[in-house]
């Protein structure tokens, strides 16, 4: 049942034949919970046939932000089912629950999120990040991002430059570091967001 649920989650709104009509009740619950946590509930309820809607090959009829949330829903469903899956392509969320994701045989899960919120609005991004933080005690969460708002509450930030670690530390420490790369990027992003907000109110 767990592997079947994970397979269904992979199909969730992603394939043209993706349908949940044949799932067992427990699998339905797993996928629905994952979709809600990934902020997909409103998207699905607005579709003509809900979970049974044909959204095109690879989710081509969905927006970029909706596809990102589908990817997160897949990962959350995999965590819920404890299914081992192979790492996926960039821009997706991959879960390693096999030997590569275990530390000393304790069954630890590693969730790699590559730019998981780059196409989301600020409010949806905040909600998704809250859900990711909620599962943090259960998994080792590795977040790859250029949107530094995602880094505020992580345990440690690694700043990469030319393939090497240029800085590391907590967000609060790095933003105060004189001449630091992270502090520079943080100030630039804050200024950009303020400029966008001012334009929105003109």
pLDDT score of 191: 92
**Assigned domain for 196 exists:** no
**Assigned domain for 67 exists:** yes
User: What is the mean pLDDT of each successive set of 10 residues along the chain, which is 202 residues long?
Assistant: 43 41 55 83 84 75 81 76 39 46 54 82 82 77 89 92 95 96 95 68 51
Q: Which domain holds residue 30?
A: 2-155
Helices 2-11 and 25-37: angle between axes, nearest 10 degrees: 50
Considering its fold, how many domains does the chain have in total? 1
pLDDT score of 79: 73
Helices (H), 82-136: 122-135
**Assigned domain for 24 exists:** yes
Assign residue 45 the CATH number of its domain: 3.40.50.300
pLDDT score of 129: 82
Helices 2-11 and 64-81: angle between axes, nearest 10 degrees: 180
């Amino acid at each position: 049942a767990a592997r079947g649920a994970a397979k269904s989650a992979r199909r969730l709104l992603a394939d043209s034949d993706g349908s949940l009509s044949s799932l067992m009740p427990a699998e339905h619950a797993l996928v629905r919970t994952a979709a809600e946590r990934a902020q997909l509930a409103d998207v699905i309820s607005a579709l003509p046939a809900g979970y049974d809607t044909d959204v095109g090959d690879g989710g081509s009829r969905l927006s970029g932000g909706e596809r990102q949330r589908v990817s997160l829903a897949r990962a959350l469903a995999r965590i819920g089912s404890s299914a081992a899956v192979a790492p996926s392509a960039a821009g997706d969320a991959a879960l390693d629950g096999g030997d590569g994701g275990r530390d000393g045989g304790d069954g630890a899960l590693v969730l790699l999120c590559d730019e998981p919120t780059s196409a989301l609005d600020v409010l949806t991004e905040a909600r998704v990040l809250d859900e990711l933080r909620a599962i943090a005690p259960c998994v080792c969460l590795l977040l790859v991002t250029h949107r530094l708002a995602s880094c505020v509450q992580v345990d440690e930030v690694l700043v990469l430059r030319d393939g090497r670690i240029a800085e590391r530390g907590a967000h609060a420490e790095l933003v105060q570091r004189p001449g630091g790369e992270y502090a520079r990027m943080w100030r630039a992003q804050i200024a950009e967001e303020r400029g966008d907000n001012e334009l929105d109110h003109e």
